């Protein structure tokens, strides 16, 4: 039998065989994208553009396979959704480097503009990642907090990562649930440490609330009308 979804209440099967089947399909999708990206790099080398090209390989999000009781993505801010690959190759770069710093999608635009020699927009929150690639590791300015946010009908979830610590706050129907993880030792985010480290929890919670109270956090999206073709594409991707 296949995976079944109830349109009124989203419920997915927890059958282990089906879960393995979905994981195999997910792995196959990753392999197909990997092969396509490799073909792109080969073509850039064939036409002698690889060395002079800025290449950024990144994913928008991960997928949950009952890691924390749910499916798909956009439902929580745990590692299986937020942790994504990022590979950056600068024009003329010959050597690679693994960078342990926490970076975010909002850093990509400033990085592209920096490489191109263009100015960053005044209201952009991100930071260029160029120093992480070009400067010695001991000259890094230190880890910046990483923030995430997802708003659903049943509540709002936010998170902050600072150093080895990650705090997730979920507000729903007037209540708030706080969870704290030390992610290098607990990459699957299974062991909630909020009660064991109350001072650390309060500190990260204060930083998160300060971020949410900032003017940038209140920016509202603009309204737009979708044509029928774009609407159908978004529905096919599961966004509508």
pLDDT digits (tens, 9 = 90+) for 173-205: 778 889 999 988 888 888 999 999 999 999 999
pTM: 0.73
Contact predicate 171/154, CB 8 Å: no
What is the pLDDT averaged over residues 138-148?
A: 67
Strand partners, 147: 160
CA–CA distance, 144 with 165 (Å, rounded to integer): 12
Tell me whether strands 64-65 and 146-152 are parallel, antiparallel or unpaired: unpaired
Query: Is a pLDDT exceeding 50 seen at residue 4?
Result: no
What is the pLDDT averaged over residues 134-141?
A: 59
Judge residue 139's burial from the number of C-beta atoms within 10 Å of its C-beta, 0-12 exposed, 13-18 middle, 19 or more buried.
exposed
Contact predicate 207/214, CB 8 Å: no
Residues in the chain, total: 240
Judge residue 82's burial from the number of C-beta atoms within 10 Å of its C-beta, 0-12 exposed, 13-18 middle, 19 or more buried.
buried
Residue-averaged pLDDT of the chain: 81
Contact predicate 152/137, CB 8 Å: no
Q: In this structure, is the dihedral angle defined by the CA atoms of residues 96, 101, 102 and 108, taken in order, positive or negative?
A: negative
What pLDDT does residue 76 have?
79
- CA dist list (Å): 23 to 13, 33, 64, 74: 14, 15, 10, 18
């Amino acid at each position: 039998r296949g995976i079944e979804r109830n349109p009124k209440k989203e419920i997915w099967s927890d059958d282990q065989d089906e879960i393995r089947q979905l994981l195999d399909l997910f792995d196959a999708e990753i392999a197909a994208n990997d092969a396509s990206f490799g073909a792109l790099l080969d073509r850039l080398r064939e036409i002698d553009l690889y060395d002079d090209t800025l290449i950024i390989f990144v994913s928008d999000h991960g997928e949950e396979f009952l890691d924390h009781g749910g499916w798909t993505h956009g439902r929580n801010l745990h590692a299986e959704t937020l942790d994504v690959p990022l590979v950056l190759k600068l024009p003329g770069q010959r050597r690679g480097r693994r960078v342990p710093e926490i970076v975010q999608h909002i850093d990509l635009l400033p990085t592209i503009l920096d490489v191109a020699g263009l100015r960053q927009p005044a209201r952009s929150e991100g930071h260029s990642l160029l120093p992480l690639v070009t400067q010695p590791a001991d000259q890094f300015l230190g880890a910046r907090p990483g923030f995430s946010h997802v708003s659903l009908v049943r509540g709002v979830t936010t998170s902050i990562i600072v150093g080895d610590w990650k705090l997730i706050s979920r507000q729903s129907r007037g209540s708030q649930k706080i969870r704290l993880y030390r992610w290098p030792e607990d990459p699957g985010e299974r062991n909630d440490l909020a009660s064991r480290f109350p001072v650390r929890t309060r500190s990260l919670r204060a930083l998160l609330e300060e971020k949410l109270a900032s003017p940038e956090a209140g920016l509202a999206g603009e309204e737009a009308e979708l044509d029928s073709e774009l609407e159908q594409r978004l529905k096919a991707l599961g966004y509508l």
